[in-house]
Amino acid sequence: METNNFLIILKLSLSGLIIFFSVQLQARENGKDSLRAVAEPSGQVPTTSFYVELGGKFLPSFNIDFRKKENFSISVGSGFWKDSEEHEQFIFIPSVNLYYLSGKRKRIEMGGGAGPFLTTYKGLVSCVVFGSVGYRYQKKKGLFFRAGFTPFVAIPVNNKSRFLAIPWAGVSLGYSL
């Protein structure tokens, strides 16, 4: 029993480290501090967006996107669904994603992220790695829209799950503040 508790703590710690290091990747760029909230030379002001995503990370997911630099953003969110195939349970996938953006208002975005795959019946079952290549339309204040190819890979962390690779597409709709 103690071995099972130790493994659960170890797996949760590893998932937390993956998320922590994903966030740290955004913190430094070219040796400069990227946390300054100063407008870019192009006039880009830091933007925060709230959006709902269908497909993508999961069906559905709720997310917050932070853009401090013109070409980089970080998104945190959580997807969920109710599953009754094997057991009545809810499935949660909190995630952290980083994106590189090119263009002005209409942009091409590429990025990825990671998060734990948690269920109310089995607990932590997988570490999920996301990818994203797509189109992003974003005003400084107003409509936020994304569409793209968003594959993900679920890597099992115990014997309660299996390896999954799913080539998904997703759309997002939200509002930028």
H/E stretch holding 128: strand 123-138
Average pLDDT, the chain: 78
- Structural domains in the chain? 2-176 (2.40.160.20)
* pLDDT score at 28: 45
First vs last C-alpha separation in the chain? 49
* pLDDT score at 38: 44
Average pLDDT over residues 55-77: 87
- The more confident residue out of 65 and 15 is 65
* pLDDT score at 19: 62
* pLDDT score at 12: 61
pTM of the shown model: 0.70
